[in-house]
Amino acid sequence: MWTKPFATFAASLPLAFVGLALCPAVSFAVPCLNLASPGSPAVYVAGSTAAEPLVRQLAQSLTRDDPTKLTIIWQMKSSCGGAEAVARDTMPASCATGACITGKALAWTVDPRDLQPAECELDLKGNKVDLAISDVAPSLCPGLAGPPITGVLDTLGPVSAYGVVMAAQAGETAIHAEEAHFVFGVGKSAGVKPWQNDATIALPGDNNAGQLLLGQQIKLSPGRFHGVPAPTPEDVVTTLYGEPASGIGILPTTLVDKRRDQVKLLAFQAMLQRGAFYPDRKSNSFEKQNVRDGHYPLWGYMHLLQRADPANPTKPLSPNGARLAGLLQGAMPVAGKDTLLLQVQAGFIPQCAMKVSRTSDTAPLTPLVAPLSCHCWFEKNVPGGISSCVPCMDGKTCAAGTACRRNLCEVQ
């Protein structure tokens, strides 16, 4: 027969299990390497929050559907966090200070019943990063300022747009670069309406690509931003809702576009620009027309960063990292799927759909005539895109000045 204290203890056990399961601080993550099956080698990837929707799609296809499988082990960090993990990885057999990734990561399993990736534990000593994804060049990262970075290969992927955001119900619709300079640089005491609550100015951090790219536009260097830390996109949204009429933050459009019922993008007026423009043709469309034609300058290229092979400095050290970089660039299919289309579906803009370019994150916009432009195809594949382009069969002649690509007559 149980004594009363023991019976009380026994009765509380189920509650304790429920409590442990709900407590985010206590977890029972398995080692990440255990989640990689023999025929599906592990690839360690770190970086930009903006890239998460695309990495998620590729990872699932690579683990389960593609004949040449890979297990993606993904740690979502800031752009510069990922860049540093690769740039500082200069010791062949161990992790130098600031190199590699540690702690928890996500891995997609082969089991199709797992709808979400599994959380796993990285090596205590750290894991070398096969591929880092950053929306700014490493040279723009505050932690990597100084002598030029060597031994890192940087290839450019699609364009990633960012936005200054407010809660969906906020009354304001636009912000000027000069206003943003004072709001993010001074805060409440600058008196710029309606952004007069220091507790609702959400800052993703000096290592975040969105904050760095905005800083370029509003002449605010890292360290000069004023507000409350909001390192994850969820933190940004929570901070906005602290006071929906005044809360302000910075997020990638790849994430905002899926949450427009909660978060609104403000039209942005660059310095010396007449009028403020949304990334898209309208506040409620998705075709990124203004990013593509040069009316909206708040964007960066996806930088795919890999360690170079010391024996052959033009080749990446990790072949599996290089394969994933190629997929992120849209250069080859995965499991029979068009990876350029996956870019578009994840909210990115393929370079072939751009009419402007930049030679660096700090360089001005210049006109671009993409050699194999895909404006019609891009518009066809975004919700509400223009559908007036002339269809064609591949190889068939289109009207003068256009060429048949992906079954559409594209401007040459």
Partner 1 sequence: MGTQREAGRQPLTSGRQGRSGATAALSRLAALGLGALGLGAVALLASQLHCAEAEVGWRGDDPGQGDLPGNGDGGLDGGDDGVHCFTGTATTELQLLNHCTEAEHVDRASHIPPTTWDGKSPLP
Q: Which residues bind partner 1 (CB under 8 A)?
A: 173-174, 176, 178-179, 181-182, 185-186, 190-193, 219, 267, 269-270, 272-278, 281-284, 289-290, 293-295, 297, 356, 364-367
Least separation in angstroms between CB 357 and partner 1:
11
Least separation in angstroms between CB 227 and partner 1:
17
Least separation in angstroms between CB 133 and partner 1:
27
Least separation in angstroms between CB 200 and partner 1:
16
Cβ atoms of 292 and 367 within 8 Å: the answer is: no
Least separation in angstroms between CB 367 and partner 1:
6
Helices (H), 294-349: 319-328, 339-345
**Residues near 379 by Cβ (< 8 Å), separated by ≥ 6?**
287, 385, 386, 387, 389
SS3 258: coil
Cα Rg of the chain (Å, integer): 23
321: left (phi over 0), alpha (psi -120 to 50) or beta: alpha
Smaller CB separation from partner 1, 118 or 245: 245
Smaller CB separation from partner 1, 96 or 363: 363
Least separation in angstroms between CB 159 and partner 1:
15
Least separation in angstroms between CB 360 and partner 1:
13
For residue 333, the tally of other CB atoms under 10 A from its CB is 15
Beta bridge partners of 153: 306
Least separation in angstroms between CB 356 and partner 1:
6
Token pair of 86, please? Answer: 């690769």
- CA 229, CA 338: separation in Å to the nearest integer? 38
Smaller CB separation from partner 1, 256 or 356: 356
Smaller CB separation from partner 1, 93 or 369: 369
**DSSP letters along 118-137, please?**
EEEE--TT-B--SEEEESS-
Smaller CB separation from partner 1, 138 or 163: 163
**DSSP letters along 32-60, please?**
GGGGS-TTS-EEEEEE-GGGHHHHHHHHH
Cβ atoms of 273 and 264 within 8 Å: the answer is: no
Cβ atoms of 44 and 132 within 8 Å: the answer is: no
Beta bridge partners of 74: 45, 106
Smaller CB separation from partner 1, 197 or 407: 197
| Type and span of the H or E element at 16 | helix 4-22
SS3 179: helix
Smaller CB separation from partner 1, 176 or 405: 176
Beta bridge partners of 301: 159
Smaller CB separation from partner 1, 297 or 385: 297
**Residues near 146 by Cβ (< 8 Å), separated by ≥ 6?**
none
Least separation in angstroms between CB 134 and partner 1:
23
Smaller CB separation from partner 1, 68 or 173: 173
Least separation in angstroms between CB 186 and partner 1:
8
SS3 274: coil
Q: Closest Cα partner for 281 from 387, 173, 385? A: 385
Smaller CB separation from partner 1, 3 or 359: 359
